[in-house]
Structure 1
């Protein structure tokens, strides 16, 4: 998995960034949200007006959090424009 793009959010809120991620060679998700909470960092999938479009097992979510935090810090950021 790797971060395709990451967009830091303006400071002042709990949302640190929004990002796009390639989970497998066949699956990409766009519009993920990285949030800092009192219980640690969390990732949230995009949602429709009523429901999340995906859920993740805790260990898988943790790997996405680590990847997003590394990308936010400027590590391993894929700067390509390929979709």
Structure 2
């Protein structure tokens, strides 16, 4: 699994959205437009984009944790895809 691109959200007081990002899972599936958010208790959570008013994807807890960790690392390290977005 790898983060293809990550786009930091505009900073603002009390804004839970940290970034939007794209991820490739195991070389066979790419998901675009996921959101990385901070919950009120400080945890990070990923949210799939909406399609027709519903989330386009859901994730098993273990996979959600893996994607969240990868997105957090990409955001904190300054992902090279910043230049492409």
Q: Could you say which TM-score interval applies, normalised by the shorter chain?
A: 0.7 to 0.9
Structure 1 unaligned regions, length at least 5: none
CA root-mean-square deviation: 1.8
Q: Deviations over 1:30-67 (max 9, x none)?
A: 00000001231100011113111110011110111100
Please give the TM-score of this superposition, normalised by the length of structure 1: 0.86
Which structure shows the higher helix fraction?
2
Please give the TM-score of this superposition, normalised by the length of structure 2: 0.85
Structure 2 unaligned regions, length at least 5: none
After TM superposition, where is structure 1 displaced by more than 3 Å over at least 4 residues in a row? none
Aligned residues: 80
